[in-house]
Structure 1
Amino acid sequence: MSTPSSWPLPPESIRFVLPRQMVSKLATHPLSEQLYPLGIGYYQLARGHEMRREQHDDFLLIYCLEGSGRVEYGTDRKRRIIRAGDLLVLPRGTPHHYWTDQRDPWSIYWIHFDGALSQAFIDQLALDPGSPLLPLGIHSRLVSDFEALLDTRQARHHLASYLHSANQLRQLMTHIALLRPLARQQQEESLDLEKIHSLMQARLHEQIDVDTLAAAVSLSKYHFIKKYKALTGTTPINHFIQLKIERACHLLDVTNKGIKEIAWAVGYEDAYYFSRIFRKMMGISPSQYRAIRLGRSSYVG
């Protein structure tokens, strides 16, 4: 695998490199040998982030969620500007140098991957000749795909979980190919909900206020709340809480983490407050939800 960036990781960001032993198993397993992840990450407002590789021995995707940056690529050192909504695609063997704009630092998802069909999946994206960028726009479902892959870091040494992540990578690649023909269509909505929901998805592990969401779409707080409610029938914070609880349900389903750990993972420092919010949204406590999942209880009591 190409060496990941050594950029100092702040608390809001994630860098996960799969264990070498697990990569060896994925490279030879019939369910993953065609396409499998090597490393996954999310860097939030990554001021100072920069990476240069003369030798690139795997495949790399970088999805820019906000901010901007630059990339220099190929033997002729062509340059491109990377903006929010752009996907940077760097196939094996492509020398490159990318960096964030210091005045407008980017937030990005990235994934290194390999496998016998990696190039075929890249070809399916139909990149424009001479450019490594796909201007996809901001899509909350695509953000969810990256977040699902980030869950791989919870797997520890369970092969089944890594096989699942390999097939989630297939889903992500085919999802991108599906979005590609629609990438240049103009937004018809008066409010860019995809941008807002993508920002929410990326920050489920922390708190976010309405001012931040309104600023992301260049609206005042008042007009943002009014437009958002007109389009969705709810407030942005209520939707954000709903996303947090959905995420908590997922973690209750697929991990053995304690309630306090799960509360922390979705941005609540107080486990009791988290449990009250969970009960309000779901009608049952987190412990009851897990008991139902384990077959120790039922919804009808």
Structure 2
Amino acid sequence: MLIEDGFPGQRLRVLPARRVAQALTQPGIAHLVVTDAGYFPTAQAHGKIRPEGIEQCVVLVCVLGAGRVRVAGAVHEVRRGQVVVLPPGVPHAYEANDRDPWTLWWVHVLGRDLAEFLRSSGMTAEQPVRQLRDVYRPVSLIEEIVGAMERGDTDASLLAASGAAWHLMAQLCAEQVAGANALPVIDAARDYIVAHPAEPVTVGRLAAMARMSPSHFASQFRRRVGTSPIKFQTQVRMGRARELLDTTGRSVESIATEVGYGDAFYFSRVFRAVHDETPTSYRASRRA
């Protein structure tokens, strides 16, 4: 016999149907409404059978143990570090592994942005299980959702839960894009640029480090990161410059050197091209 809930140490929140209907009409909240959310630790005999599916999208994140999901005529094994996404209206069933029952963080969501998230990420009933590159970020977001709902079903609580749910679905979309374009040497090059903003880099040098031709490296970097290596370095440098302008009293010349520009006038020109104002006026406007 499968058990839906009642596990020692669980956390569970369900939004009343009337409140769900209200939330679907409220600005901000209506983009993604969390109707149910929870945490089931070591959920022995946990499971659910929904022959008709439900109107919400079900997201299950397995952090320990294992289980399985049945959907679209297929059975998919679920392991630690994986996420299950079951689209609305799709018949499904899932259950914990008998010998090593899963520990789950989970949410049910619906709203005007849900269909777009599912389309853009390729999350379908035929491919309901994905390996997470970073399980901690989705878990922290679901924990944030549960915490917000535990504070009641006020507008403020539901808005907080909705925002975290939007972030969660965006993170799952980003996981899919990253997985499709994953290339460790490109990730390493990106991380190198972030860690060494002041160091001069060229496509040729980065390509040599990655053991690629410059043209192939540049195309792969743009595909993975969304821009060229040089433009990405400028973004990193400008981000660091803004941080220093906001949080220190250091001179523009000192900051320019810190982020890799030996010429403060050239640094100011680049900064203005990116921000439509000089470093000095930027600092003044932030402290006004």
TM-score category of the 2 structures, normalised to the smaller one:
0.5 to 0.7
Aligned position for 2:140: 144
Answering whether residue 19 of structure 2 is matched by residue 22 of structure 1, we say: yes
The TM-score with structure 1 as length reference comes to: 0.56
SS at match of 2:144: helix
Structure 2 CA distance for aligned equivalents of residues 8 and 117 of structure 1: 29
Aligned to 1:165: 161
Partner of 1:61: 59
Cα 1:108–1:182 change in 2 (3 A) is: same
Read off the aligned partner of 2:13 and give its amino acid letter: F
Secondary structure (helix, strand or coil) at the match of 2:29 reads coil
**CA 1:124/1:166 → structure 2, altered by over 3 Å: closer, same or farther?**
same
Q: Percent identity?
A: 25
2:30 to 15, 33, 55: 33
CA contact (8 A) 1:14 1:43 kept: yes
C-alpha deviation, 1:6, in angstroms: 5.3
Partner of 1:125: 121
- Stretches of structure 2 that go unaligned for 5 or more consecutive residues are 186-288
Deviations 1:137-190 (A, max 9, x none): 4422221111101112332242122112111111111112122234486999xx
Q: Answer 1 or 2: which has greater helix percent.
A: 2
> Do the aligned partners of 1:34 and 1:115 also contact (CA within 8 Å) in 2?
yes
Contact 1:155-1:162 within 8 A present in 2 as well: no
Query: Which whole-Å CA distance do the structure 1 matches of 2:147 and 2:157 have between them?
Result: 9
Match of 2:68 in 1: 70
Counterpart amino acid of residue 29 in structure 2: S
Q: State the distance in 2 between where 1:183 and 1:13 align.
A: 31
Return the letter of the residue paired with 2:92.
H
Native 8 Å contact 1:15 1:42 kept in 2: yes
Alignment of 1:11 onto 2:3: no
Q: 1:103 aligns with which of 78, 99, 105?
A: 99
* Structure 1 match to 2:280: none
Shift of 1:129: 8.0
Q: TM-score, normalised by structure 2?
A: 0.58
- The size of the alignment, in residue pairs, is 182
Q: Deviations over 1:61-85 (max 9, x none)?
A: 11111111111112xx211111111
Unaligned runs of 5+ in 1: 189-301
| Residues 1:154 and 2:150 are matched in the alignment | yes
